[in-house]
Structure 1
Amino acid sequence: MSLLGSMTTAISGLAAQSRALGHVSDNVANSQTAGFKRVDTNFTSWLTRSSLRLHMPGSVEARPDYTNTVQGTVEQTENPLALAIAGQGFFSVAQARSGQGADVVFDDRQFYTRAGDFAMDRDGYMVNGAGYYLEGWEMQQTGEPDRTTLEPIRISDLVYNPQPTTTIDLAANLPANVDTVVTVPTGAPWAPTEEPVSSVIQIFDDLGNQQQVTLDWWRLDVNTWRLRITPDNDTLAPADGIFADIDFGGQIDAGPPVLDAPAGTISAITPLSSTTGPAVAPTALGDTASLGFAVDYGYGAQSITLGLGGFGVATGLTSYSGTDYSVRDLSQDGVPLGAFSGVTVRENGDVAVNYDNGQTRVVGRVPIVAFNDPDKLQRLDGQAFTRTVESGEARVTDVATNGVGKLVTGSIERSNVDIAAEFSKLILAQRAYTSNTRIVTASDEMLQDTINMKR
């Protein structure tokens, strides 16, 4: 019985070492596969009978020991859509069954992967080298992602529609140390004859055409400046422009109690032209100081608000010491027509579409999926996994939260296979296999001697 048991044990050793060799072969073959997780070998002994007085030969079994939680090397690439996870977690991906474009039909099963070599296909989907489609949360109009549903991310907004200018913001200092020598008109036309200090800004109409608006300033007295707004090509504004007086320092129209604006800050805005909207009266220090007016470039009235900062605060427009008109910021919110220029993924997972008009639109966010026991996931083709009962439920969460790793953009995670370690395992498997063959040979010779005893 011992001779037969020895042979049986040695044969199980041959089978176990063959499996171990297969694991090593698989690891070496996939040493350059993005996101591949190596398979180690766990040898388990099975006993036939063992006690203090007797031990009979048993057998050995080689089981796969998965390393899904072992990080591979993160390597930078020239692909801006490539993604890697530094830490725990997986990308949620889908597999296409049929169709193309907006009519692609996806498999109902949920897949996960660490292979982040994503690129945009012809239909605008982000697909990795194994053909899996990256999934994410769709971005809502509120600017927050819809965390209730995971959908394949598709870049379909290839045009950024023009937006007409609705707000112009001015931050500047009108010099308080210039002589007041202007002739102050008492009625229309409101423009003094002296040369003003000016700013010019480009705005956009409803069709995205660029238009020009000029802001001219005259100092009327110690605390008052006159503003003229001249929109070129406008059909609504008077020929001589849109006028308003801006007072600095003194009482503001708030209260009770009566409030005074510190010297050099806006205390009152008085429109002088009929096409100028009424200035909003402040109720407290810091209220928005703005002036509204309307223009028409042939596509209907376009309302624009000129933001000048706040009443009684040193933001936006001020009148402090100096002899030169200095502009700190002059901006507007309109944009021309934009065409698609590229896609980037931010470190928080936001997928942003870039346009050639300088605008960006966030279309989705990439989450990271975690499991209680990732090593118990079921392996599939293409470095993909599916959940099992043993792995636990999938927890979908934002990047770098709830124990998941960070997102490394423009990079991929390489295989976690160490070639030197695999060759060491190869040598051990080879020697162990050879040793087991020697046991089989020796057992066979001893059995043959036992049979020959009858002769």
Structure 2
Amino acid sequence: MGLYGVMRTGVSGMNAQSSKLGTVADNIANSNTTGYKRAASEFSSMVLSQGSGTYNSGGVQAHTVYSISEQGSLSYTTSTLDLAVDGNGFFVVADADGSAMLTRAGAFVPDGEGYLLNTAGYYLQGYPITDGVKPTTVANGLGGLEAVNISQNQLEAAPTDSAKLWANLPEDATIVPAADLPSANAATSTYSAKTSLVVYDNLGNELTVDVYYSKVTETAADSDWEVTIFNAADAAAGGGFPYSSAPLSTQTLTFDVTTGSLTGASPTVINLTVPNGGTFDIDLAGSTYLAADFTVTEVDANGNAPSAVETVEFDEEGTLYAIYANGDRRAIYQIPLADVASPDKLTPMSGNVYRVSSDSGDVRVGFPGEGGLGDLVIGALEGSNVDLASELTSMIESQRSYTANSKVFKAGSDLLEELVNLVR
């Protein structure tokens, strides 16, 4: 092979250095690209079979490697839709045709239809949440995911399905005669204490219910209290008795007079059915019977009137919430993270996205912070992991090596020319 081999070796060296300069050029060009992972060229020697008296020069082969698993620095932004992963994992995105990819570029903005897409035009994928139930992932695949849409233009109304009303009932209250109890619904009724609670029916109508507490008996062991609930809309002019309809519910609570807590035999909930549909339980388990004034110690009732979505926000578990004009929040999507056994073996595609390959291993899907996956950082972006100083150094090294290889090629060419001239 002789001189031809020397020339081919020089060409091989120039090609390898060209490949390295190519990765350096890409890295420098994308040094400020969100989620970009640097590429590098690694070389391996190519050796030919050798004779006992001569040396056959081989060459060098360039291999491109990617530092996909290397974390870039996080920078915080003013957008609550910007997302970054601190640790292992990738966002799942899809192109307009629905082909799923992985990415670390989390600069998401809504398009004209409300779909969240990043700078390269890939749509963020998530699991829809129905009735507040957290979805489960397909552990080894991307099934069940859909493009996240934050456009919730329709009015939403949620009926009350649970409530809590804990109160302290005064130990020194006077016993109310049976004929005077609110449950009798007379023109005038006697009771020990009263409060009201706002709930919502199936149409989103706001309803106020009046809750009356009346002490009916007391012994050395326990004290009974009747709890009567009316629809406030049925009250007489100015509020109060007489109500035009029967009570929505009546229940008797029994307190242990030595502890001030409800006895084990006492009911702890009141089941309530309101007009226009809607049935729910009011939790009374924390009510007490102590030597203190009547006090509502804890109260809560979910549900909301018809309201439009004003904004959306993520939490650190990847749940996307719709925030309504009345202040209510509703979970609409759960954002998963995906990972593979060998991230550096993923196949890079245009737009800072990666495709699963046979060398990377199968995809594994979970939620942020679970099973070795990284944490989700809200309002932040992951920068490129390119170090400009290292890239400029590599560029100079490559330039010098390319020049040296060209000299080898020229030396072989000159010697070959001398060989040809011998016949002249």
* TM-score range relative to shorter protein: 0.7 to 0.9
Indicate which of 304, 307, 317 corresponds to 1:338.
Answer: 307
- Helix, strand or coil at the partner of 2:165: strand
Determine whether 1:199 maps to 2:189: no
- Distance, in Å, in 2 between the alignment partners of 1:112 and 1:302 is 44
| 2:80 counterpart letter in structure 1 | P
Q: Is the 8 A contact 2:209 2:229 kept in 1?
A: yes
Partner residue of 1:215 out of 196, 211, 215: 211
Counterpart position of 1:273:
none
Alignment partner of 1:145 out of 122, 128, 135: 135
Contact 1:28 1:422 in 2 (8 A): yes
| 1:106-144, Cα deviation, whole Å (9 max, x unpaired) | 24x432222221222221222111011122233345714
Structure 2 residue matching 1:319: 3-state secondary structure: strand
- The 1:219/1:437 distance shift into structure 2, 3 A limit, reads same
Q: Secondary structure at the match of 1:137?
A: strand
| Aligned residue in 2 for 1:249 | 255
DSSP-derived class of the 1:131 partner: coil
1:428 is aligned to 397
Q: For the structure 1 residues 235 and 220, does the alpha-carbon distance in structure 2 shift closer, same or farther, using more than 3 Å as the test?
A: closer
**SS at the partner of 1:337?**
strand
SS at match of 2:261: strand
Counterpart for residue 84 of structure 1: 84
Counterpart of 1:395 (choices 364, 370, 379) is: 364
CA distance in 1, matches of 2:380, 2:265: 47
The aligned counterpart of 1:240 is: 242
SS in 2 for 1:35: coil
Match for residue 289 of structure 1 among 268, 278, 297: 268
* Per-residue deviation, 1:423: 0.6
1: CA distance, partners of 2:230 / 2:258: 30
Instruction: Report if aligned partners of 1:73, 1:416 keep a CA contact under 8 Å in 2.
Output: yes
Residues 180-227 of structure 1: CA deviation (Å, up to 9, x unaligned): 4x7746344569887954433333344434343343445566535455
In the alignment, is the contact (CA less than 8 A) between 1:344 and 1:351 conserved in 2?
A: yes
Displacement of 1:20 in angstroms is 1.0
Secondary structure of 2:305's aligned partner? coil
2:71 alignment partner AA: Q
Q: Which residue of 2 aligns with 1:406?
A: 375
| Letter matched to residue 383 of structure 2 | R
Equivalent residue number for residue 275 of structure 1: none
d(CA) in 2 for partners of 1:428 and 1:111? Answer: 35
Q: Is the partner of 1:266 in helix, strand or coil?
A: coil
In the alignment, the residues of structure 1 paired with residue 161 and residue 41 of structure 2 have an alpha-carbon distance, to the nearest angstrom, of: 67
Task: Give the Cα separation in 2 of the matches to 1:398 and 1:22.
Answer: 37
Q: In the superposition, relative to structure 1, how do residues 168 and 352 fare at CA in structure 2: closer, same or farther (>3 Å)?
A: closer
Q: Identity percentage over the alignment?
A: 31
Q: Distance in 1 between matches of 2:363 and 2:161?
A: 46
Q: Deviations over 1:76-127 (max 9, x none)?
A: 222222222222332222111xxxxxxxxx24x4322222212222212221
Q: Which residue of 2 aligns with 1:121?
A: 111
RMSD across aligned positions (CA): 3.4
| Matched residue count | 406
Whole-Å Cα distance in 2 between the matches of residues 301 and 420 of structure 1?
Answer: 69
CA distance in 2, matches of 1:408, 1:400: 11
Residues 422, 158 of structure 1: CA spacing in aligned structure 2 closer, same or farther, 3 A cutoff? same
Task: Provide the residue aligned with 1:318 in structure 2.
Answer: 288
Alpha-carbon distance between aligned partners in 2 of 1:75 and 1:3, rounded to the nearest angstrom: 55
Please list every run of 5 or more consecutive structure 2 residues that lacks an aligned counterpart in the other structure. Answer: none
Residue of structure 2 equivalent to 1:62:
62
Partner of 1:336: helix, strand, or coil?
strand
1:307-328 CA-to-partner distances (Å, cap 9, x unmatched) read 321xxxxxx2111122x22221
Q: CA deviation at 1:41?
A: 0.6
Residues 175 and 19 from structure 1, CA distance in 2 versus in 1: closer, same or farther, beyond 3 angstroms?
A: same
Structure 1, unaligned runs of 5 or more:
97-105, 251-260, 268-284, 310-315
